[in-house]
A and B are shown apart, each in its own frame.
Chain A
Amino acid sequence: MKGSIPLVVMAAVLLALATLPYYVPYFYIFVATEVLIMGLLAGSYNLIFGYTGMLSFGHAAFFGFGAYITAMLLMHFEVPLLWAMIASMAGALVLAAIIGFFCVRLDEVYFAMLTLAFGMMVFAVALQWRSLTNGSDGISGFPLPEFGLGIDLTLADPMVYYYMVLVIVVLASAVLYLITRSPFGLMLKAISENPERVAFCGVNERRHRLIAFIIAGTFAGLSGALFAPFNRVANPDMVHWTQSAEPVLMTILGGAGYFMGPYFGAAVFVLLETWITSYTDQWMLFLGIVLALMVLFFRRGLLGTVLDRVMGR
């Protein structure tokens, strides 16, 4: 009985998202698109943070790399968006494999510091390799061609773009969800709870952590690929460590213990940012206070705390 509650809630959320343009002001189409893209970023991040217990401070490297690949392919080759997205995922996969290969050798603080170092290395390259990346201005002014596969979409229409993002994010998240429910996903959970015991049982925990890191990076690349055409620019800010902090905050806000936590956190984060910045400039102050309270008193996150009550955990 209690097990069906999340399913009912999920169905309701999906229905609400699918019919969103019919009952919210036009402006909120943009907000909802950003929520979905950031939700995918935070959801991918939680595979390594919440499920595997690795605090990475370099997740924006894959997000930004994906954004740059899509922006450049659209700029120079005008490829269909679908192929640009696939290229972004492939690029992020390779980058995550390289960075992850080194990072999973370390634990805890050292892991966090090494992901930070690699993330900032990617940032430095994006900033300094001007001939390729156009430096701090980034890549903008690229066209939005067709979607690909002969599907006729007017991508420049925010409504159309919203529905495209919705479909892609839901599909990608379903894949992520299945991974967390698979034997592999359960093994990750076990690694986060007791790595020594898992290793003692004969499991190559380092390889499991690497694969999780690569999967998370790949989906972060996809969210970057969705973000570049939405934001109309790919710039070094999207690779900076402050961008890496965002999925961490969203996950803490929503709760790392549930699959939907980071998505919920992303929604709260983006909505609060939208509302608060329209009243005052003190968004960071507000965010800092909320984050401090969450860490001190509601470590399971907003959604986590509510669901814990409902599910009787």
Chain B
Amino acid sequence: MESFAASLLNSLDIALLLFVIAVGLNIVFGVLNVINFAHGALYMLGAYFTFTIVNIWGLPYWPSLIIAPLAVAAVAIVIERVMLRYVYDRHITDSLLLTFALLLIIDDLVLMIWGPGIQVVEPPALLKGTFTVFGGRYPVYGLFVIFMGLVMVWGLWALFTKTRAGRIMRAASIDRDMAQTVGINVPMVLTGVFAFGAWIAAIGGVVAAPMRAIGPAMGDKIIIESFIVVVIGGLGSFPGTFLGAIVLGLIHGFGGRYLPDISLVLPYLGMALVLLLRPQGLMGGRGSA
């Protein structure tokens, strides 16, 4: 029983971190119609910037939560302006290949700058240590991850439903030409949305930094996980991303415990089943960013 509670908490922190990363991928897909293969690399950049801010510059952890995502968003603006915007009118394969090229470039730059080793960032003093839940040990930091995830869920939901910026994004995702006609500066919105997606991914990176090993391959792994989340929940669906993240979190949290022999296959099996039975995803609908 005690490790059931720990597994559940563990599933939750995995799920909410996955949500934060995958939701940016899904927003970018919904509005730009681009599958961003480099999204995981942007998440990784967030984690490495945190490492530099905390371990190299010697600043406390908290400022990195502001600085690193802004820095990554700035990188994303350059990427969108210099490369990505030239392939919007082409087949979706082209943007996939272009962002894959970006993934290779960012991965190698990270390797050049920070080296091949695994880096560790200490959690802030406030969040160190573990506590006991039903006799099982659970890190305090995990609670912070869950808290941050819930803040993002609430914040993004409020953004999309309550604010003008959110409505503009939804308008651009449903019909770009019409949005342009009614006076929305669509090219600017597209740049903004890509930067926004990168900003969210980088927040995921900063939050993950003290919990996950920071290494040059961390982006390659998370991007596939994000694809799974987005596919299970539904491409372009915001509530779907949340549901997909919970499903994958539970698979990770409990799969290894109850089905250790096939734990690695389970996420892909879930993804394939959803694609075959309900290709639009569990919460799928079109154009519902």
Are A and B bound to each other?
Answer: yes
A305 to chain B, nearest CB (A): 16
Cross-chain contact of A125 among B102, B107, B265 (Cβ < 8 A): B265
A248 surroundings in chain B (CB, below 8 A): 97, 100
Question: Would you list which residues of chain B between 230 and 282 have a CB under 8 Å from chain A?
Answer: 231, 235, 261-265, 268-269, 271-272, 275-276, 279
* Given A114-B272, A120-B268, A55 and B231 contact (CB-CB distance below 8 Å): no
* Given A113-B271, A117-B275, A121-B272, A291 and B104 contact (CB-CB distance below 8 Å): yes
Q: How far apart are the CA atoms of A288 and B41 in the complex, in Å? A: 13
Question: Would you list which residues of chain A between 104 and 163 have a CB under 8 Å from chain B?
Answer: 105-106, 108-110, 112-114, 116-118, 120-121, 124-125, 127-128
* Given A121-B268, A121-B272, A245 and B101 contact (CB-CB distance below 8 Å): no
Q: Taking the complex as formed, is A184 at the interface, i.e. its CB lies under 8 A from any CB of chain B?
A: no
Is the Cβ of A284 less than 8 Å from the Cβ of B107? yes
Cross-chain contact of A284 among B35, B104, B227 (Cβ < 8 A): B104
Q: Taking the complex as formed, is B158 at the interface, i.e. its CB lies under 8 A from any CB of chain A?
A: no
Which residue on chain B has the smallest CB distance to residue A114? B275
A284 surroundings in chain B (CB, below 8 A): 104-105, 107-108, 111
A242 to chain B, nearest CB (A): 7
* Given A112-B96, A121-B265, A128-B265, A285 and B109 contact (CB-CB distance below 8 Å): yes
A231 surroundings in chain B (CB, below 8 A): none
Q: How far apart are the CA atoms of A267 and B100 in the complex, in Å? A: 21
Cross-chain contact of A288 among B35, B92, B105, B263 (Cβ < 8 A): B105
Q: Taking the complex as formed, is B220 at the interface, i.e. its CB lies under 8 A from any CB of chain A?
A: yes
* Given A248-B97, A281-B111, A296-B87, A113 and B227 contact (CB-CB distance below 8 Å): yes
B271 surroundings in chain A (CB, below 8 A): 113-114, 117
Which residue on chain B has the smallest CB distance to residue A283? B108
Is the Cβ of B98 less than 8 Å from the Cβ of A55? no
Q: Taking the complex as formed, is B182 at the interface, i.e. its CB lies under 8 A from any CB of chain A?
A: no
Question: Would you list which residues of chain A between 260 and 308 have a CB under 8 Å from chain B?
Answer: 281-285, 287-289, 291-292, 295-296, 299
Is the Cβ of B109 less than 8 Å from the Cβ of A113? no
Is the Cβ of B97 less than 8 Å from the Cβ of A291? yes
Is the Cβ of A102 less than 8 Å from the Cβ of B272? yes
Is the Cβ of A288 less than 8 Å from the Cβ of B104? yes
Question: Would you list which residues of chain B between 83 and 101 have a CB under 8 Å from chain A?
Answer: 83, 86-87, 92-94, 96-98, 100-101
A301 to chain B, nearest CB (A): 12
Cross-chain contact of B35 among A109, A127, A241, A281 (Cβ < 8 A): A109
B101 surroundings in chain A (CB, below 8 A): 287-289, 291-292, 295
A112 surroundings in chain B (CB, below 8 A): 35, 96
Q: Taking the complex as formed, is B224 at the interface, i.e. its CB lies under 8 A from any CB of chain A?
A: yes
For chain A, the bracket of interface size reads 35 or more
B275 surroundings in chain A (CB, below 8 A): 106, 110, 113-114, 117
Cross-chain contact of A296 among B93, B98, B265, B276 (Cβ < 8 A): B98
Q: Taking the complex as formed, is A252 at the interface, i.e. its CB lies under 8 A from any CB of chain B?
A: yes
Q: How far apart are the CA atoms of A296 and B87 in the complex, in Å? A: 7
Is the Cβ of B272 less than 8 Å from the Cβ of A118? yes
Which residue on chain B has the smallest CB distance to residue A293? B101
A209 to chain B, nearest CB (A): 16
Q: How far apart are the CA atoms of A287 and B276 in the complex, in Å? A: 34
Residue with the highest number of chain B CB atoms closer than 10 Å, among A245, A289, A296: A296
Is the Cβ of B97 less than 8 Å from the Cβ of A295? yes
Question: Would you list which residues of chain B between 7 and 49 have a CB under 8 Å from chain A?
Answer: 35
Q: Taking the complex as formed, is B121 at the interface, i.e. its CB lies under 8 A from any CB of chain A?
A: no
Q: How far apart are the CA atoms of A110 and B35 in the complex, in Å? A: 11
* Given A106-B279, A296-B98, A128 and B262 contact (CB-CB distance below 8 Å): yes
Q: How far apart are the CA atoms of A285 and B235 in the complex, in Å? A: 30
Which residue on chain A has the smallest CB distance to residue B272? A117
Is the Cβ of B265 less than 8 Å from the Cβ of A124? yes
B276 surroundings in chain A (CB, below 8 A): 102, 105-106, 114
Is the Cβ of A285 less than 8 Å from the Cβ of B268? no
* Given A291-B97, A295-B97, A117 and B268 contact (CB-CB distance below 8 Å): yes
Cross-chain contact of A245 among B35, B86, B98, B100 (Cβ < 8 A): B100
Which residue on chain A has the smallest CB distance to residue B112? A282
B72 surroundings in chain A (CB, below 8 A): none
Which residue on chain A has the smallest CB distance to residue B38? A288
Is the Cβ of B268 less than 8 Å from the Cβ of A124? yes
Is the Cβ of A109 less than 8 Å from the Cβ of B263? no
Q: How far apart are the CA atoms of A124 and B228 in the complex, in Å? A: 14
Q: How far apart are the CA atoms of A105 and B112 in the complex, in Å? A: 42
B112 surroundings in chain A (CB, below 8 A): 281-282, 285
Known pairs A109-B35, A296-B83 / 19 extra A-B pairs, C-beta < 8 Å: A55-B96, A105-B276, A106-B275, A106-B276, A114-B272, A116-B227, A117-B231, A124-B264, A125-B265, A252-B97, A283-B108, A284-B107, A287-B104, A288-B101, A288-B103, A292-B83, A292-B101, A296-B86, A299-B94
Binding site for A on B (CB under 8 A): 35, 83, 86-87, 92-94, 96-98, 100-105, 107-109, 111-112, 220, 224, 227-228, 231, 235, 261-265, 268-269, 271-272, 275-276, 279
- 29 intermolecular pairs with C-beta atoms under 8 Å apart: A105-B276, A108-B92, A110-B275, A116-B224, A117-B228, A117-B269, A118-B272, A120-B268, A121-B269, A121-B272, A124-B268, A125-B265, A128-B263, A128-B264, A128-B265, A242-B220, A245-B100, A252-B97, A281-B111, A282-B112, A284-B107, A284-B111, A287-B104, A288-B103, A291-B100, A291-B101, A292-B101, A295-B98, A296-B86
Q: Top 10 nearest A-B pairs by Cβ distance?
A: A288-B104, A288-B105, A285-B108, A124-B264, A291-B101, A292-B101, A284-B108, A121-B268, A117-B271, A117-B272
